[in-house]
Structure 1
Amino acid sequence: MGTATDSEDEEGGLGPPAGWDFPRGLDESSWWPFIAAVGATNLYLGAGLFIIGWTDYSLVPKFLGPLFFGGGAFLLLVGIFGWLHQAFVEPYWERDASVLDSGVHRLGMLLFVMTDIATFAAGLTYYYFVRLGSWPTEELPHLLTPVLAINTVLLVGSSFTFEYAHKKLSGGEHKRFLAWLGVTLALGLAFVGGQVYEYYELIVREGFTLSSGLFGPAFFGLTGLHGLHVVTGVILMGILLVRGLMGQFGAGRDTAVRTVSMYWHFVDAVWLVIVVSLYLGAVYGA
């Protein structure tokens, strides 16, 4: 005699609770979102501990910040990868195009972008608040450098190459899609390299750090948060490229490409806001 759970499964109901099938979830049951959430929490906690630990007062040990930040970043990436693999990669060939092209996925990315807008808005609000006081432009580091211009061109250009890659995929040109996606990935990696070089110049050459007045925390907080988003986008594009090489995309079967492109365009737009507000605004007092 069957149980209520058995009858629900026969009628197409949800699978067993997440704890029964770890690490592989069935239907909506999955532990991966929780792992990603724990990672994100520890990542932000680590960033806060790092800032507190490196102030003149040193309220917490300096090693706690990097420890929580590194562990949180690892868990976040593992959670995202497992979540995406379970939801999209593993069952790809078992689903028809109508399911894979569901607008629910794009809505989910849109909601995520909206929450991220709130995060960056909070950081920019802090920056504008500290700008209300006196602003000693003579103490600012050299912000308007060729690296900034090159990085901006790289990131803006990557949005166009991503769209062109998607266009080629929609037209059935799979090899050209992979080629232009590879170009976009290379541009994203170059941006990350440029930001690392910029940090090296500011910290090592000019001695500009998190503890450099009011502008230091604002600068490294906002550019670091954006850099983290760029790194996440590069990882997502790498996953797309691997899946594309496996033949998992085509015209009408491109939901993952659409959602990642939405995220990447958002990251691009935020960078332009940061350039105008943080770089140009700091130097020219805009």
Structure 2
Amino acid sequence: AAGTYTVNLTVTDNGVPVLSDTTSTTVNVTEKPAAKKPPVAKTTGPYHGLTNQNITFDGSASYDGDGSIVNYTWDFGDGSVGYGVKPTHVYMVAGTFDVLLTVKDNDGLTNTTKTTATIELDSDGDGWSDEEEQRYGFDPNNSSSMPEDTDDDHVPDIVDSDDDNDGLPDDVETLVGSDPQNETNATNVTVADSNNYLVDTDNDGVYDTFYNPDTDTKTTVAKDQRGRYLIDFDGDGTVDYVYDPASGSVNSYGEVTPGAEIPWLLVAVVVIFAVIAITVVLYFRKKI
């Protein structure tokens, strides 16, 4: 154990009489320093990309439990080396490359991890691989020939069932009359515990159609004076629910706050006529 100890040494001879002598010294004992822990290298791989395209590598998840990381060295597997937490690299040829990240901490200890980068050939640099362009019928050597991708999800419109990512399938948008490439002309509303949609079919910024995908029913909606939408849920010609776009709430038509539908213009007219009538009556009474 660590501490300060006194060590005594006594020597004795074999003469007659027996003689002896003793000396002492002090010894200090310290604990052995704990072994330094190496850092841990981590990446966000595996990575995917195209030739002639910047690919960002990320080693920010790496850590050192008893210090700090002072160096990040990347071997990109194609003979190139990079440094830093988030370096970028461009591959000139297609293939699958072993990527090594080595981190060094402030004690000089290192750790290495391996991931891969799968690179596809993009001959014309248009952001679509040659294989994808050939699959969808486009010229991989012409940068002006590429699949149309309205929502930039890298799924061509010709095979994307929801081009604008508004939650309403393209075929349904065509059915109800909305634009399948405009993400702002439909909104999801929950009515009677089911997902439904309010749709702006004429792109004027006002929803005019309610669509119930469970029953494949569409009905016309109207707005009240407060900007709320009146919904005929079952297609019987009567209003069943009220949707408030300001709060996103849906209430049964009969649950609308009492007094919310008071015709204030009519009330104002009645009050004005009442005031005029009272004034006339008082005038003639004074004449009498």
TM-score (norm 2): 0.19
The higher-RCO structure (CA 8 Å, 6+ apart) is: 1
TM-score, with structure 1 as normaliser: 0.19
Give 1 or 2 for the bigger CA radius of gyration: 2
